[in-house]
């Protein structure tokens, strides 16, 4: 039996799509092996959000070919979609697919294995109007599963290449979503994370449903005990949305609300669709419904033209919101986006300094948020044995606090009440209440 290995860069959507492609190979009698092993086929699922992602993709392509000079090298995903000719010019590459027609990957692999002729099937993603189903049946794990419900983005933020890589918004059919959720429940999964490229836009292409409608229907599936949302646009969180959401006890009190900057002038240059005042009102609204909510976010520092005053505004805003966790990224110019041509690009030393300062503020806020729950009892979905402490097991609360407690691996996949006793390196340590 032939062997296939996968190397996945980028987001949870990419990881979901890699699982779907792996299943296609398994159904055709290929054995899935680790990416560091020798394989007959290497599939590189690429990310192009930064130029670094492109470079990492090229590096792995060459490493894979060095492991087995006769291997078929297939490059799929966002980098392949935005730069198909560039990828095809890498002599080690045999197949270039992009962000659609990935269901053909086994067929194309077998074709190349037979005739050794290179294949590039990338076409204009802007012509794609339907959600491409990539079914996953043999899902591994027993705790949390990611479920892709949406594709594409129409936002066109000035720094982002994703609309050009993923195309216009497309919503997955509700019946197909529910079919996969029921399969997850049957396999013992307790938590499902609804994910996509721009989840908040679900239904806007069809005009038939909205994201909240999907959440309500998923909530009805027996066996699923937690519903979590991946990164969402803050403007979707209206009072009408929250009025319906609060009636769904399975929905976790944790939201990853995209921010990117705490300066209104920077947000405007980024072509974001909200102000800091509007963002703050949204956070306050959510907290009025869910007092213990965890709000996480992403922030870019060193965006073109970002002054010290604008950066300090971001620092003050982050402190004011009190995020449970922030992810900080120094701005990286991405060829093909408007921001890459902006004047006053910030030098790397300044970006490094600003990243470090904002990370420190974020860590302080994380510890303050977590510390509030010492002495409380919260439900924890345990996922795996701890690599930090022997004989401990770890999991997450609904508001996405990582928790460690003494316990055996037999507790994996169970939701148990835990008395939270102390904090250690942004992790709560507690005792399971059997």
**38, 104, 248, 373, 399 from 292: Cα distances, Å:** 48, 45, 16, 9, 7
What distance in Å separates the CA atoms of residue 242 and residue 72, rounded to the nearest whole number? 49
Residues 404, 391 contacting (CB under 8 angstroms) = no
The DSSP secondary-structure symbol of 227 reads E
Q: How many residues does the chain have?
A: 434
Share of the chain above pLDDT 70, in %: 99
What is the second-level CATH architecture of the domain 377-432? Beta Barrel (2.40)
CATH 3.40.50.12780 fits 144-371, yes or no: no
Q: Is the pLDDT of residue 140 over 70?
A: no
Where does the pLDDT of residue 427 fall: very low under 50, low under 70, confident under 90, or very high at 90 and above? very high
Q: Is the pLDDT of residue 141 over 70?
A: no
Q: Is the pLDDT of residue 402 over 90?
A: yes
Q: Is the pLDDT of residue 252 over 70?
A: yes
More confident residue, 367 or 56: 367
- Count Cβ atoms below 10 Å from residue 408 Cβ, excluding itself: 11
Give the pLDDT of residue 341.
Answer: 95
Q: State in Å, rounded, how far the first CA of the chain is from the last one.
A: 47
Question: What's the whole-model pTM score?
Answer: 0.93
Q: Which whole number is the average pLDDT over 282-292?
A: 98
Give the pLDDT of residue 72.
Answer: 96
Give the pLDDT of residue 142.
Answer: 65
pLDDT-wise least confident of 47-51, 146-150, 325-329: 47-51
Q: Is the pLDDT of residue 219 over 70?
A: yes
**277, 278, 288, 318 from 282: Cα distances, Å:** 9, 6, 10, 14
Q: Is the pLDDT of residue 41 over 90?
A: yes
What distance in Å separates the CA atoms of residue 336 and residue 333, rounded to the nearest whole number? 9
- Two tokens, residue 335: 């060829």
Residues 239, 285 contacting (CB under 8 angstroms) = yes
Every domain of the chain and the residues it spans: 3-123, 144-371, 377-432
Q: Is the pLDDT of residue 30 over 80?
A: yes
Structure-token match 């197909």, residue found? 176
Helix-helix angle 105-115:12-27, to 10 degrees: 60
**DSSP helix/strand/coil, 234:** helix
Q: Is the pLDDT of residue 424 over 70?
A: yes
Give the pLDDT of residue 51.
Answer: 77
Mean pLDDT of the chain: 95
Pairing label, strands 144-151, 119-120: unpaired
Give the pLDDT of residue 64.
Answer: 87
CATH match for 3-123 among 3.20.20.70, 3.40.50.300, 3.40.50.12160, 3.90.79.10: 3.40.50.12160
Residues 149, 177 contacting (CB under 8 angstroms) = yes
Give the pLDDT of residue 137.
Answer: 76
φ/ψ (deg, to 5) at 394: -125, 155
What distance in Å separates the CA atoms of residue 199 and residue 151, rounded to the nearest whole number? 8
Give the pLDDT of residue 105.
Answer: 97
Q: Is the pLDDT of residue 254 over 70?
A: yes
- Two tokens, residue 355: 């990243």
What distance in Å separates the CA atoms of residue 215 and residue 220, rounded to the nearest whole number? 9
């Amino acid at each position: 039996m032939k062997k296939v290995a996968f190397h996945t860069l980028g987001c949870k959507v990419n990881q979901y799509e890699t699982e779907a492609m792996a299943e296609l190979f398994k159904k055709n009698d290929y054995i899935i092996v680790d990416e560091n092993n020798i394989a007959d086929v290497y599939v590189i699922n690429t990310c192009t959000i930064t130029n670094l992602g492109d470079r990492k993709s090229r590096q792995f392509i060459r490493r894979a070919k060095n492991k087995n000079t006769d291997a078929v090298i297939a490059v799929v995903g966002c980098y392949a979609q935005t730069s198909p000719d560039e990828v095809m010019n890498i002599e080690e590459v045999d197949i270039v697919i992009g962000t659609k027609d990935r269901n053909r990957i086994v067929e194309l692999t077998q074709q190349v294995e037979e005739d050794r002729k290179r294949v590039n099937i990338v076409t204009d993603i802007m012509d794609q109007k339907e959600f491409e189903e990539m079914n996953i049946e043999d899902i591994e794990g027993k705790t949390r599963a990611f479920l892709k419900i949406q594709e594409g983005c129409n936002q066109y933020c000035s720094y982002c290449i994703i609309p050009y890589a993923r195309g216009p918004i497309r919503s997955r059919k509700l019946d197909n979503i529910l079919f996969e959720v029921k399969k997850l429940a049957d396999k013992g999964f307790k938590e499902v994370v609804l994910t996509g490229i721009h989840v908040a836009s679900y239904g806007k292409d069809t005009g038939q449903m909205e994201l909240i409608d999907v959440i309500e229907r998923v909530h009805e599936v027996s066996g699923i005990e937690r519903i979590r949302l991946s990164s969402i646009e803050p403007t979707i969180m209206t009072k009408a949305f929250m009025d319906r959401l609060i009636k769904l006890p399975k929905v976790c009190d944790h939201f990853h609300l995209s921010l990117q900057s705490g300066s209104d002038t920077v947000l405007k240059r980024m072509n974001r669709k909200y102000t800091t005042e509007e963002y703050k009102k949204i956070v306050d609204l959510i907290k009025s419904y869910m007092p213990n909510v965890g709000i996480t976010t992403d922030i870019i520092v060193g965006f073109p033209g970002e002054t010290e005053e604008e950066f300090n505004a971001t620092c003050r805003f982050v402190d004011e919101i009190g995020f449970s966790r922030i992810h900080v990224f120094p701005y990286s110019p991405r060829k093909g986006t408007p921001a890459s041509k902006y004047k006053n690009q910030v030098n790397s030393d300044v970006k490094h300094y600003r990243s470090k300062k904002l990370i420190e503020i974020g860590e302080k806020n994380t510890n303050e948020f977590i510390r509030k729950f010492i002495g409380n009892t919260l439900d924890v979905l345990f996922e795996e044995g701890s690599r930090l402490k022997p004989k401990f097991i770890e999991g997450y609360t609904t508001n996405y606090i990582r928790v460690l407690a003494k316990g055996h691996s037999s507790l994996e996949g169970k939701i148990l009440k835990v008395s939270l006793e102390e904090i250690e390196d942004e992790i709560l340590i507690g005792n399971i209440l059997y």
